[in-house]
Structure 1
């Protein structure tokens, strides 16, 4: 019986030769790099786009908002779309759509055109992440899944880190359309390889499936409104804005109605029933935390380096770059360890390492050098390597068959929403903490503080030595003091932000108890429900 089961297991993966499997891996990895890199690389070019298109900061923000809203709407639908159109056609078509939209973005000559094509990019980009990941789970045997997902993870985790560096270099040396044109050769290669070597999924149902129109509509309204609130909330002063309050109400109602619809219909667009599996549900919640830390950290660090320290976009990118390389080097190691250690053990190691890195970063000052940032950023990058792969394996290896396609969509959606929530929360938190620290620091600037009075007197004398009058010199000294207070309040708020990210990860540690005790991935047979 054991021999028969083993032979059946081998036959299950004989649809592809070993060489073809690795070609498909290259194809989906290229597509993944396109999607993940594009988000961060475009953000660096925003100032140049504003000037060329005559847009305000609020208007230009829609090129990111439109992309992300389309992306989060389509992410949970990728499993259903793969079933409806066939995985090969859907993934290949999505790569072509993303590449064509990239060309159109680069050729856009108005803001409205650019926003439209960015929305199309976001719709196409969803499959480049979740459908690609589901494909790898299906075509590779269990004993290779750890290493294959580690290679896939390099594209997912390193892209947001390398993006600012590459985007800064392109912006400094070329014009902004090239941040889109760079996608074209990669997209062409990925599309050709996918359509040439990939077969339809063995779980593809050839029968006509009923389209869950209401489910898709409620998903678009609920999740789309939620993402809008997260993207625009801080900019519009949250619930002081009637628009944000309205969209929040729509999001809550839309999500509730969507959940009820999907749990009660026979042919749901999004299979929420797979959340009944404990490992997968815990993994999705942990994915929220991972997105919060990954995208939140990537958001605040470049702002600290550029606004407070005066580094250019390229310089800030190079300071962050070693962390991305640490992730890239760690993922193959975790891929090997995944065949020997239980996933939740590695997730625990990664979480603790990430917490330590945030603790170190919360001591940054106005004088912290790039060398002093090197090791905490490397530790953060290595910890991400220990988080992404084991968390993926712990969550998705509990699913079988058609569930994997639906599961990858939901898993990536939760990470994306966690990232959006992290950026929205931290941007608001930074504003509030800066105001708080500034008010506290200002209280210490009074005639009874000899240190402050001595600094003002000495600075006034310096301005007078340059030819300023007594009155003008005192005003200049007070202005200099105000700038110093503002800078100190900002750096203290960044210290608080890094600390709060670490606290969020500490709070996530008990979630590890929800993951079932299991051996290394690939050591046993398929999961039993």
Structure 2
């Protein structure tokens, strides 16, 4: 009776059906629509990223300007994600998701109508901010609807969505750009967005709003959080490309973000109603689970970035060919997802998480010997192992992180958990780009030293290339031969830098693999059922 009353007041999870252990079917359909909305939000980042060249040409933007199409979205999104916990408590889970989905759809229409780079940046900022609430709200809804015991089973489907969107995004974006104009990268969101918005509005009802909470919002803390997280994301996104603090803009933004961080943490720890409840991190499982989520973010977003960059720059594959090569990871996740879900439900999720990290380490270790001749066949096994590792981590990490968290912290935890994974992905991309630049220059210097025309094998290569240039009728065959040798040296230096990245990631995953065993064991479905029976 107590639980029923709580549910009526909107403060407790939806009461599951007595026979199936699931929410009522309308709620279940609504949850599936929310899951698809999360997929749409994650996918949008990837399909746009794969087609920036077409957008650049359509808007007559420079190379520096076009990067802001992604940066503006990510900076705005990273501000909304932690704020979503406060808004979910004030507006309710249902209405926050409905407003987020509707706003995302409207912003997508605006993006498709952009006629200048400035308009696109404004519209993408709006799209990232309003759509940023869908992902963390989905995690909160999962917990509220299914409870602790069944969370591990549901997390399998959610994990597939989180991983499949970045996997198929680049190929899908490239295909859309090839068969249609870049405007359709945004127009494809309209029909799904409308269906999701009205479907969630009609079917989902898991809690009640607390509108008076909006009058107590900490505006100083909100502004400080925006400058802190937005600045941090900008530094991570642009730092490697702009030589970090040697660039005046990056350094200035870093200083502003640091000052804003101090103000944000001070307000969050002292005001009565902070915009982000940092008390969530007092829970050991959630604190270290969030850290592990950041490392998984590196494995998810970092490797999704690293493989296509190698295949495009070194293998010279098209976006369609790259997508066909990377599909192996998605297929392996689909095949092993049921097994990982069963293990997470019936065994210790911490062991599944340990296994997942070791598989990620193995997948990158298998790639440490990469050469310029690697294609689909050579990357097949590492990608299969990576898929197994990712699905093992993602199906168990949310279960482990939320296992001992009090119910009143769930909504704030959903936003912070998503934020940690996104920040981890941003750190991973910054780390990968920095390693590639640093190690490429290092290997270039060492290889260039060995390219001495006085060596017989080098002179033979120069002569062969000179003869080839002469046959093609080039104006300066010897200069053309030296340029080709320089290109070959640079290509080999880049391949060696990629190998260094994979090695670093391998050790990173190994170091963090042991962390799950120090956390409290989450309850299994059987233990929850036994507790409820008593």
- 1:483 aligned onto 2:483: no
For 1:155, the equivalent position in structure 2 comes to 161
- 1:90 aligned onto 2:96: yes
For 2:79, the equivalent position in structure 1 comes to 73
Contact 1:142 1:522 (8 Å CA) reproduced = no
- SS of alignment partner, residue 317 of structure 1: helix
Residues 522 and 98 of structure 1: is their aligned pair in 2 closer, same or farther, counting only changes over 3 Å? farther
Contact 1:145 1:522 (8 Å CA) reproduced = no
CA RMSD of aligned residues (A): 2.3
Contact 1:60 1:111 (8 Å CA) reproduced = yes
For 1:14, the equivalent position in structure 2 comes to 15
For 2:226, the equivalent position in structure 1 comes to 220
Contact 2:400 2:521 (8 Å CA) reproduced = no
Offset of residue 168 of structure 1? 1.1
Please give the per-residue CA displacement for 1:133-168, whole angstroms capped at 9, x wherever unaligned.
101110124443222121112111110011011111
Contact 1:30 1:187 (8 Å CA) reproduced = no
Residues 468 and 112 of structure 1: is their aligned pair in 2 closer, same or farther, counting only changes over 3 Å? closer
Residues 462 and 107 of structure 1: is their aligned pair in 2 closer, same or farther, counting only changes over 3 Å? closer
Q: Distance in 2 between matches of 1:349 and 1:27?
A: 31
Offset of residue 189 of structure 1? 1.2
For 2:478, the equivalent position in structure 1 comes to 474
Q: Distance in 1 between matches of 2:50 and 2:429?
A: 16
Moved more, 12-21 or 56-65: 12-21
- SS of alignment partner, residue 170 of structure 1: helix
Match of 1:419 among 412, 416, 425: 425
Q: Distance in 2 between matches of 1:456 and 1:43?
A: 39
Match of 1:524 among 524, 528, 532: 528
Contact 1:341 1:519 (8 Å CA) reproduced = no
For 1:181, the equivalent position in structure 2 comes to 187
Residues 468 and 229 of structure 1: is their aligned pair in 2 closer, same or farther, counting only changes over 3 Å? closer
Contact 2:399 2:522 (8 Å CA) reproduced = no
Please give the per-residue CA displacement for 1:103-147, whole angstroms capped at 9, x wherever unaligned.
111111111111111111111222210011101110124443222
For 1:26, the equivalent position in structure 2 comes to 32
Q: Distance in 1 between matches of 2:428 and 2:93?
A: 32
Please give the per-residue CA displacement for 1:174-205, whole angstroms capped at 9, x wherever unaligned.
11010111111111111111000111515x44
Q: Distance in 1 between matches of 2:121 and 2:526?
A: 44
Residues 14 and 519 of structure 1: is their aligned pair in 2 closer, same or farther, counting only changes over 3 Å? closer
Q: Distance in 1 between matches of 2:474 and 2:186?
A: 51
Q: Distance in 2 between matches of 1:483 and 1:217?
A: 48
Match of 2:392 among 381, 386, 392: 386
Moved more, 4-13 or 274-283: 4-13
Q: Distance in 1 between matches of 2:382 and 2:522?
A: 31
Contact 1:339 1:523 (8 Å CA) reproduced = no
Offset of residue 9 of structure 1? 11
Match of 1:233 among 225, 236, 239: 239
Q: Identify unmatched segments of 5+ residues in structure 1.
A: none
Offset of residue 379 of structure 1? 1.2
For 1:261, the equivalent position in structure 2 comes to 267
Contact 1:21 1:140 (8 Å CA) reproduced = no
Match of 2:518 among 501, 514, 519: 514
Please give the per-residue CA displacement for 1:298-351, whole angstroms capped at 9, x wherever unaligned.
112111111111101111111111212222333333222111111110111110
- SS of alignment partner, residue 484 of structure 1: helix
Offset of residue 18 of structure 1? 3.0
Q: Identify unmatched segments of 5+ residues in structure 2.
A: 18-22
Normalised by the length of structure 2, the TM-score is 0.92
For 1:64, the equivalent position in structure 2 comes to 70
Q: Distance in 2 between matches of 1:234 and 1:479?
A: 27
Residues 500 and 12 of structure 1: is their aligned pair in 2 closer, same or farther, counting only changes over 3 Å? closer
- SS of alignment partner, residue 381 of structure 2: helix
For 1:103, the equivalent position in structure 2 comes to 109
- SS of alignment partner, residue 523 of structure 1: helix
Offset of residue 477 of structure 1? 2.4
Q: When the two structures are aligned, how many residues end up with a matched partner? A: 521
Contact 1:326 1:381 (8 Å CA) reproduced = yes
Offset of residue 446 of structure 1? 1.5
- SS of alignment partner, residue 89 of structure 2: helix
Contact 2:149 2:523 (8 Å CA) reproduced = no
Contact 1:65 1:228 (8 Å CA) reproduced = yes
Normalised by the length of structure 1, the TM-score is 0.93
- SS of alignment partner, residue 338 of structure 1: helix
Offset of residue 522 of structure 1? 6.0
Residues 456 and 206 of structure 1: is their aligned pair in 2 closer, same or farther, counting only changes over 3 Å? closer
For 1:197, the equivalent position in structure 2 comes to 203
Q: Distance in 1 between matches of 2:61 and 2:224?
A: 32
Contact 1:262 1:271 (8 Å CA) reproduced = yes
